Amino acid sequence: MSEEFKVEIVNPEKSFLSKEDVREVVVPAFEGEMGILKDHISIISFLKPGIIRVYSNSEENKYFVEDGIVEFKDNNLSILTSSIYKVSDLDKNKIDQILKDAEKESSDNNIDDQKRYLIDQKIEVLKNLSLN
Amino acid sequence: MASLDDLKKRISSVKSTQKITKAMKMVAAAKLRRAQENAEKGRPYSEKMNNIILNLSSGISDKENAPKLLTGTGEAKTHLCVVLTSDRGLCGGFNTNIIKKAKQYFQKILKENKILKIITVGSKGYDQLKRQYKENIIEKISFKDSKNINYFDADKVGKIIIDRFEKKEFDVCAIFYNQFKNVITQIPQEQQIIPLKSNEEKETSSNSSYEFEPEEDEILSNLLPKNISTQIFKAMLENSASEQGSRMSAMDNATRNAGEMVDKLTIQYNRSRQAAITKELIEIISGAESL
């Protein structure tokens, strides 16, 4: 029996990624990282900034997301996000730019705790990325 | 009758107009293809978003504490209308159709003694509405500078709407745009986005029980603002495809009309030239005869 399921990542402009032969997807869910395998229970959750890892039979891909929603149902994983980048496409300049924006945002004192938490997360992830 | 010179000038001026309209048609056709592709690419996102929200809202147990964006404020006194139009003219009835649709809605609301507030997106809509509804327009937004439709712009509009909703400035929000059906037909649409109207609610399979992480209402309150931006983005995409389609057919018509006019003027030109020749001949002949 195959252990594969389908994943689809869409952003508002287009369908970003669609894959049929995925074994595992790890998403940065709001309450912690979450790995999804085949026959996972139906779930809806939303994402915090972090790295999505998609493991298929042939390769492993990483994507950086800033926010989004995941829905898993009948072995279909949909990820809706407004900003997503493939990690291998991100170069130093791009990371620095996103990082700068995030830091600017976090210096604003009028944001609530949840937002601050999300931005801090984003900065941390980006810093890790730029180290590698 | 106009002199030969005048006719010649007119023919050449109509011809150059025809060249312009033809070029505009070509440009619109090229842009239309891209806009149409974008509109199609953007569809999965908004559809999925809608599905998730439907699933969520059918699963929500505590209707009274549900987010206001979903259920509304319980009143329907102040209406906010977001009218999405283009920034450029020369696109046939495109803007007029949206405005017409919107005006019907406005009149209905004003008749019921409700308060009307308008946000216009795109400068053409503002131009057409300012005469009649100047005091109702609370904001005008234009994305003249951004070349392509992007989600970022839609998000800006969405944030403005949500901001105003949280300040309790309105109860019901509707958006107006043109839905792209094909190149010659665009249907002006009126869509209510706050509170969310879910007319397919009965069809959702309620047996799909989901696990939620975190709680339903928390996801919902996070998701609904995004959904508004998404709906606006969808409307903007549809609008841009419609605009190009509408411009293309309008320019096609204009080119054809110019062609007809050139034909007519050419015939007139030839006739009067012939008349002048005949007249000269008669003069010569009668001059020779009198000798």
Amino acid residing at A119:
I
State both tokens at A52. Answer: 């999505």
B4-21+251-289 has which CATH code?
A: 1.10.287.80
Task: Tell me the nearest-neighbour CA distance from B68 into chain A, angstroms.
Answer: 20
Q: Determine the distance in angstroms separating the CA of B239 from the nearest CA of chain A, rounded to an integer.
A: 15
Whether the CA torsion A112, A118, A119, A124 is positive or negative: it is positive
Cross-chain Cβ contact A43/B212 below 8 Å: yes
Q: Which position among B70, B91, B109, B129 bears the catalytic label? A: B91
E strand or H helix at A29: strand A15-29
Torsion (CA) B226, B231, B233, B238 in degrees, nearest 10: 170
Tell me the CATH number for domain A5-86.
2.60.15.10
Substitution target in A6, A9, A14, A75 with the highest count of B β-carbons within 10 Å is: A14
Closest CA to B47 of B233, B217, B243, B239: B233
Parse chain B into domains and list their residue ranges: 4-21+251-289, 35-248
| Tens digit of each residue's pLDDT (9 = 90 or more) over A12-37 | 888 888 888 889 999 988 888 889 88
Contact A92, A127 (CB under 8 A): no
Q: What's the pTM value of the predicted model, to 2 decimals?
A: 0.84
CB of B219 within 8 Å of a chain A CB? The answer is yes
Q: Read off the pLDDT of residues A79-111 as tens digits, 9 standing for 90 and up.
A: 988 888 888 887 788 888 888 888 887 777 777
Q: How confident is the model at residue B271 (pLDDT cuts 50, 70, 90)?
A: very high
Structure tokens, B227: 């959904």
pLDDT reported for residue B274: 95
Instruction: Determine the average pLDDT of the residues in A71-85.
Output: 87
Asked if B223 and B50 count as a contact pair (C-beta separation under 8 A), the reply is no
Q: What topology is assigned to B35-248 in CATH?
A: Pyruvate Kinase; Chain: A, domain 1 (3.40.1380)
Inter-chain touch A12–B219, beta carbons under 8 Å = no
The reply to whether B223 touches chain A by the CB within 8 Å rule is: yes
Name chain A contacts of B205, Cβ cutoff 8 Å: none
The structural domains of chain A, with segments of one domain joined by +, span: 5-86, 90-131
* ipTM value: 0.77
Q: By the 8 A CB rule, do A8 and A76 touch?
A: yes
Is B81 tagged catalytic?
Answer: no
Q: What percent of chain B has pLDDT over 90?
A: 37
At residue B62, the pLDDT reads: 62
